[in-house]
Amino acid sequence: MPLSKRLSAIAQLVIPGAGVADIGTDHAYLPIYLVEHGVATHAIAGEVNQGPYLAAQETIQRASLQSSISLRLGNGLAVLQPGEVETIVIAGMGATTMTDILNACPAVVQAAKRLVVQPMIGAALMRQWLAKHRWAICAEELIIEDDILYEIIAAEPGEMPAMNPLLYEIGPVLWRQKHPLLEYHITQIIKQYTRIAENLKLSKTTEAAERCRQLVKKIEELEEWRTCL
Ligand code: SAM
């Protein structure tokens, strides 16, 4: 089964030759691909909602992979024992949901060797969470699929080096490696912040004015960084 460009990029960041967990697996496309292609020795597919769980069950059965993919119904990392897998993937959710999932099961998170996350929104929050919880970003990828830009982040246990706060927004590895989509990525962040700032200008509260001032400063900084590319 061909994987989407986004899921293929995620698959490339999984530690090969070991177990992987895909939390919020939906149709279980990622674990099926990883096991079928010999990237993962075995997989755990976690899903909290009945509908996607049943869809995953059907796809796994159709692929005859019940013996190498353990499908588990449950909330976030509660479906895992500490150390059961080397890589934990959480993809296709907002960063707030992802950090809630990670915060809920610290023992499972601490026993993992790599986290691969693909937040739909809030990548900066995700990077801040990683740094705060001693996960060092080791790889980052940008993918455009159906006109949507996706950010994928892989991290391993370790201290993140001190860095300019703007790099939480941009991505330290993306910046260091001058990713081909970096300019487009920064432009997208600027557009998003500009939209928020415009909305804040409509509100007359002091808090909104202060938030707007901070955003405008950030937009100016991002524009300056973009000119360095
Ligand atoms: N991970 C897949 C991907 O990236 O293509 C599916 C993404 S889908 C948009 C999000 C999935 O995560 C849904 O199937 C949803 O039911 C599941 N989900 C949301 N919160 C969850 C949680 N706390 N624990 C497990 N699964 C969750």
What pLDDT score was predicted for residue 2?
81
Distance (angstroms) between ligand 1 centre and the Cα of 25 equals 6
Task: Read off the pLDDT of residues 174-187 as tens digits, 9 standing for 90 and up.
Answer: 999 999 999 999 99
**Cβ neighbours of residue 167 under 8 Å, at least 6 residues apart?**
127, 175
Mean local confidence (pLDDT), 191-210 = 93
Q: Decide if 184 contacts 222 (C-beta within 8 A).
A: no
Q: Decide if 149 contacts 142 (C-beta within 8 A).
A: yes
Task: Read off the pLDDT of residues 28-52 as tens digits, 9 standing for 90 and up.
Answer: 999 999 999 999 999 999 999 999 9
Distance (angstroms) between ligand 1 centre and the Cα of 47 equals 6
Residue 83 pLDDT > 70: yes
Task: Read off the pLDDT of residues 120-157 as tens digits, 9 standing for 90 and up.
Answer: 999 999 999 999 999 999 999 999 999 999 999 999 99
Q: What is the pTM of this model?
A: 0.96
Percent of the chain surpassing pLDDT 90 = 98
Mean local confidence (pLDDT), 157-175 = 96
Which residue ranges have their beta carbon within 6 Å of ligand 1? Answer: 23-26, 46-49, 52, 75-76, 91-93, 97, 101
The residue whose CA has the least distance to atom 9 of ligand 1 is 92
Mean local confidence (pLDDT), 199-216 = 93
Across 11-33, b (16+ Cβ under 10 Å) vs e yields: bebbbeeebbbbbbbbbbbbbbb
The residue whose CA has the least distance to atom 7 of ligand 1 is 92
Q: With helix as H, strand as E and coil as C, how does 101-114 read?
A: HHHHCHHHHHHCCE
Tokens, residue 20: 């992987």
Residue 160 pLDDT > 90: yes
Count of all residues that appear for the chain in the document: 229
What pLDDT score was predicted for residue 66?
98
Task: Name residue, tokens 């960041």.
Answer: 13
The residue whose CA has the least distance to atom 5 of ligand 1 is 92
What pLDDT score was predicted for residue 204?
84
Q: Decide if 52 contacts 25 (C-beta within 8 A).
A: yes
Residue 82 pLDDT > 80: yes
Residue 1 pLDDT > 80: no
Tokens, residue 117: 């996350």
Q: How far apart are CA 47 and CA 154, in angstroms?
A: 21
Q: CA Rg, the chain, in Å?
A: 19
For residue 147, give the 3-state DSSP assignment: coil
